[in-house]
Amino acid sequence: MPYTPIVGSLGYILSPDARKVLLVHRSARLDDDQFGKYNGLGGKMLPDEDIATCMIREIREEAGVEVTAMTLRGTINWTNFGPKGEDWLGFVFLITAFSGEPRPASEEGPLAWVDLTELPLLPMWEGDRHFLPLVFDANPTPFHGFMPYERTRSAAWSYLRL
């Protein structure tokens, strides 16, 4: 059977002083598979767009700001992810400049600027703790990761950075 993952973008917006990141607290809908977790912004790529356009659109829709500079930090192949056991191929971006003022909330929940040092303390997908340090480190080379899930728990993590 051919591998046909959902292709999506995941973006982390840095504050102008590069000490905080804008996250969504997924708390707006009780039926949300990510209910209660903090996450970056993003979503599914549409058939008529490339992944960079997808990221820019998702940031505009969810935060109400316009991306003016971003870097691809990596890709992740998530298999059997979440309660529905979906396969995702995610492109992870760091947004380093934007225009406008972020909204206080998106459809998924409130948006909050979180100090980078506080990330380990937040409720989030277990697997995010593996790749988030790579998103914010000083190495300019993108990482390419594989993270199989057993529904709601990551089963492994491996990556290449060449």
The per-residue pLDDT for range 54-93, each reduced to its tens digit, is: 999 999 999 999 999 999 999 999 999 888 899 999 999 9
What residues make up the domain containing 86?
A: 6-160
Q: What is the CATH number of the domain that holds 18?
A: 3.90.79.10
pLDDT (0 to 100) of residue 33: 81
Please give the full DSSP string across 135-162, using - where no structure is assigned: HHSS--SPEEEEEEEEETEE---EEE--
Residue 19 burial (10 A CB sphere; 0-12, 13-18, 19+): exposed
Q: Does residue 1 belong to any structural domain of this protein?
A: no
What total number of domains does the chain contain?
1
Q: Does residue 154 belong to any structural domain of this protein?
A: yes
Phi, psi for residue 73 in degrees, rounded to 5: -95, -25
* Residue 88 CA: distances (Å) to CA of 14, 47, 63: 24, 15, 23
Q: Does residue 116 carry a pLDDT above 80?
A: yes
**Under 8 Å between Cβ of 76 and 41:** no
**What would the pLDDT profile of 118-146 be if each residue is shown by its tens digit?**
999 999 998 999 999 999 999 999 999 99
Nearest alpha carbon to residue 10 among 118, 121, 132, 99: 132
Output the pTM of the full model.
0.96
Q: Does residue 25 carry a pLDDT above 80?
A: yes
Q: Does residue 58 belong to any structural domain of this protein?
A: yes
Q: Does residue 32 carry a pLDDT above 90?
A: no
**Under 8 Å between Cβ of 107 and 32:** no
pLDDT (0 to 100) of residue 37: 94
